[in-house]
Structure 1
Amino acid sequence: MLRTIMLGSCVSVQGIVVGQLADGKIVVKVDEKTFVGYPVAPLRAA
C-alpha cells in the first residue's frame, strides 16, 4: 500500500509500507531506501 509520512515539519515522503512501529510511526520504502515517520491523515472531501 502506498502511504505518505512526515519526516519533519516540512518534509514528507511517499512510498510502499514496509512496517509499523509501536510508537505509531510507519516505515516506507522508496527505491533502495527506507524512511520512518508519522503517517499523514487522509483528506476527507465534504
Structure 2
Amino acid sequence: MLRTISVGSCVSIQGLLVAQMSDGKIAVKVDEKTFVGYPVNRAKAS
C-alpha cells in the first residue's frame, strides 16, 4: 500500500508501507532506500 510520510518540516516521501513503529512513525520503501517518518493525514473526499 502506498503511504506518504513527513520527514522534517517540509519534506514528504511517498512509498510502499514497510512497518509501523510503536511511537506512531511508519517506514516506507522507495527503490532500495527505507525512510521513517510521521504519516501524513489522508484527505477526505467531499
**TM superposition score normalised by structure 2:** 0.94
Task: Give the number of aligned pairs.
Answer: 46
Superposition deviation, residue 45 in structure 1 = 3.0
Partner of 2:26: 26
Please report how far the alpha carbon of residue 44 of structure 1 lies from its aligned counterpart in structure 2 after TM superposition: 1.3
For residues 2-45 of structure 1, what are the alpha-carbon distances to aligned partners after superposition, in whole Å with 9 as ceiling and x for unaligned?
00000011000000000000000000000000000000000113
Consecutive unaligned residues of structure 1, counting only runs of 5 or more, are none
Query: What is the alpha-carbon distance in structure 1 between the residues aligned to residue 20 and residue 45 of structure 2?
Result: 27
Query: What TM-score do the two structures reach when normalised by structure 1?
Result: 0.94
1:44 corresponds in structure 2 to 44
The ranges of structure 1 where at least 4 consecutive aligned residues each deviate by more than 2 angstroms after the TM superposition are none
Q: Sequence identity, in percent? A: 70
Separation in 1, partners of 2:24, 2:30? 20
Q: Quick check: which one's strand share is greater?
A: 2
